[in-house]
Structure formats: structure tokens, C-alpha cells
């Protein structure tokens, strides 16, 4: 085959090889395992804490929704808001660590088409994060179910399989998209500190800040940022504000995809334009 056309170097085989290399790189550093372990621990801890707190609330005589049983996986969905940062760290490191060490130049020597390099990283991150979401979500759900099945909480928790499966799948998709969003930001910003700051503000800081202003447009904006879009997509009733999220799960996914695509496109544009 000739090496002279753009399609040649951007082909499926080239992408597959590049993804193979990214896969090998991901599992050959210990920080990957630490981040995944951190995500698991945070999911379980946050879910148990949140599940326990809402159950305690419900048990009070003057509690809100007096004692309607809650699906155990709902606490796992809420826990993603916290646990996601362990995955943000991992996704960020796959690119910022290469800029920090200079090894990005080696990567780009091997895979010189910027879009292929970025796509290969995304292609590896997404399934790993999805699997982490499903498995850590299942662990969190099991932990919450075990806790709330104790006599003191008697009858407050249920485990409806259909809903649990849907919730866990949602967590998986959400984690995958957040990781790819972080990758895009990392490609655009290159430094770990910058990426972490921007992604934290995007995922947590800004939506909460906008929500606190209480003004109509700010709240509407806040509700369409990844945090609430993700919660809406995952079917959470808990939007941290008491009010419901005013759109469907499908629209939540659409907003999430839009944020992810925008971040990835920005990262790609910077990669193409700036010197490595």
C-alpha cells in the first residue's frame, strides 16, 4: 500500500494498532490501578454515606417521603458525583503525564495523526471506565442494600433488578463520557493542574455556583451542565436542589454527549494547531 494518502494513515487498522498501544500503556503504570481502586472505594463509601443519610432522614417522625422504600442503586447513582474524580484523575493522566515527561513526542512519532492518537486514547478509556462504572456501581449497590437491610432501617430498601441494571448501565456510560471529556480537556490544556482545575469547575464548581445564584438563566445553565445532565440521564431523583431536573433522561444524555464532543473537538483542534 502506498503511504501517500491521508486515508491510509487514518485507517481503521491504524486506529486499532494505536489503541492497542494505548491499552498496553494504560496497564503498564501503577497509577492506573490506584485510580481504579480509588474509584471503587469512593463509590462504595459515598453510596453508603448518602444511602444511610437519606434513610435516617426518612426514619424521622417528620421525615419527608415517609418511608417509601428506595432502590439500593439510587445511592450508587448519587455517589458518582464524588467518585468520578478518581476517574477524572486517571483519564487526565493518560495525556498530561505524557506532556509532563515529554513522552508525548514519542507517542506522536509512532502515531503522527493527532486525531488518531486522541481517538485511540478515547477508545481505550471509554470501555475501561464503563466497566469500572458498572462494577463499582454494583459493589456500591450491594453495600447500600446490605446496610439498609439492617433491622434499624427495616423495609426502607429494595432491589428491583430491572431498575438496578438500568442504573448501573447509566453509571457506566456516564463514567465513560466523563473520562473522554477529561481527555479532551487534557489534550487542550496539557498540564495536570490546569486540566484538573478546569474539569473540576466544569463538573462541580460551576454548576453549584450557578445553582446558588438562584437566578433563572443561571439555574437553567447549571442544570444543563454535565453534573445534572448526568444525574438526569442516570434517572436520579436527587438533583441536590430539591427541585426536579426539567427534562428527560434522553435529553440528559444528549447534553452529556454535547459537552464531551465539545471538549474532544477543542482538544483535537489544539493538538493539530500547536507544536508538540
Partner 1 sequence: MIRLTGLSKRYGDRLALDDLTLDVRPGAVTGFLGPNGAGKSTTMRLILGLDRPTAGAALVGGVPYRRIRNPLRTVGALLDARALHPARTGHAHLVALARSNGIPRKRVGEVLETVGLAGAAHRRAGALSLGMSQRLGIAAALLGDPEVLLFDEPVNGLDPDGVRWVRGLMRSLAGEGRTVFVSSHLMSEMQLTADHLVVIGKGRLIADAPLAEVIAGSSLTAVVVRTPHARELAALLRAAGVEVTRSGENELVTTGAPVERVGDLAYEAGVRLHGLRVREASLEQAYHELTEGDVEYGAGRRGA
CA atoms within 13 A on the CB side of 143: 22
Interaction site with partner 1 (CB under 8 A): 1, 3-6, 8-9, 13-14, 17-18, 20-22, 24-25, 28-31, 97-98, 101-103, 105-113, 275-276
Query: Least distance from C-beta 98 to partner 1, angstroms?
Result: 7
Instruction: Name the minimum Å distance from CB 186 to partner 1.
Output: 15
Residue nearer to partner 1 on the CB measure, 17 or 149: 17
Between 4 and 216, name the residue whose CB sits nearer to partner 1.
4
Grid cell for residue 30: 501503577
Q: Which is nearer to partner 1, 17 or 49 (CB)?
A: 17
**Choice between 113 and 211, CB closer to partner 1:** 113
Share in percent of the chain as helix, strand, coil (round to 5) = 80, 0, 20
The angle formed by the CA atoms of residues 135, 206 and 221, to the nearest 5 degrees, is: 95
Q: How near is the Cβ of 99 to partner 1 at its closest, in Å?
A: 10
Residue 51 CB coordination number (10 Å): 28
**CB nearer partner 1, residue 1 or residue 193:** 1
Residue 157 belongs to what H/E stretch?
strand 157-158
Measured from the CB of residue 36, what is the shortest distance to partner 1 in angstroms?
15
Burial of 115 (0-12, 13-18, 19+ CB in 10 A): middle
Q: How far is the CB of 25 from partner 1 (least distance, A)?
A: 5
Amino acid at each position: 500500500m502506498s503511504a501517500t494518502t491521508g486515508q491510509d494513515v487514518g485507517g481503521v487498522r491504524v486506529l486499532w494498532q494505536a489503541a492497542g498501544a494505548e491499552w498496553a500503556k494504560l496497564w503498564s503504570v501503577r497509577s492506573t490501578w490506584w485510580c481504579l481502586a480509588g474509584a471503587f472505594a469512593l463509590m462504595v463509601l459515598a453510596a453508603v454515606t448518602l444511602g444511610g443519610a437519606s434513610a435516617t432522614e426518612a426514619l424521622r417522625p417528620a421525615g419527608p417521603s415517609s418511608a417509601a422504600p428506595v432502590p439500593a442503586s439510587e445511592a450508587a447513582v448519587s455517589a458518582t458525583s464524588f467518585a468520578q474524580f478518581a476517574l477524572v484523575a486517571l483519564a487526565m493522566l493518560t495525556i498530561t503525564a505524557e506532556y509532563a515527561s515529554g513522552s508525548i513526542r514519542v507517542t506522536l512519532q509512532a502515531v503522527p495523526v493527532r486525531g488518531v492518537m486522541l481517538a485511540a486514547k478515547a477508545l481505550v478509556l471509554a470501555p475501561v471506565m464503563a466497566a469500572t462504572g458498572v462494577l463499582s456501581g454494583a459493589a456500591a449497590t450491594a453495600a447500600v442494600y446490605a446496610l439498609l437491610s439492617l433491622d434499624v432501617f427495616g423495609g426502607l430498601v429494595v432491589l428491583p433488578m430491572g431498575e438496578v441494571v438500568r442504573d448501573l448501565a447509566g453509571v457506566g456510560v456516564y463514567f465513560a463520557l466523563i473520562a473522554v471529556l477529561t481527555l479532551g480537556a487534557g489534550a487542550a490544556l496539557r498540564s495536570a493542574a490546569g486540566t484538573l482545575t478546569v474539569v473540576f469547575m466544569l463538573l462541580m464548581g460551576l454548576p453549584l455556583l450557578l445553582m446558588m445564584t438562584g437566578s433563572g438563566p443561571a439555574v437553567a445553565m447549571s442544570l444543563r451542565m454535565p453534573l445534572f445532565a448526568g444525574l438526569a440521564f442516570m434517572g436520579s431523583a436527587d438533583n441536590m436542589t430539591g427541585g426536579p431536573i426539567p427534562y428527560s433522561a434522553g435529553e440528559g444524555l444528549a447534553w452529556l454527549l454535547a459537552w464531551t464532543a465539545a471538549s474532544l473537538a477543542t482538544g483535537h483542534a489544539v493538538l493539530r494547531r500547536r507544536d508538540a
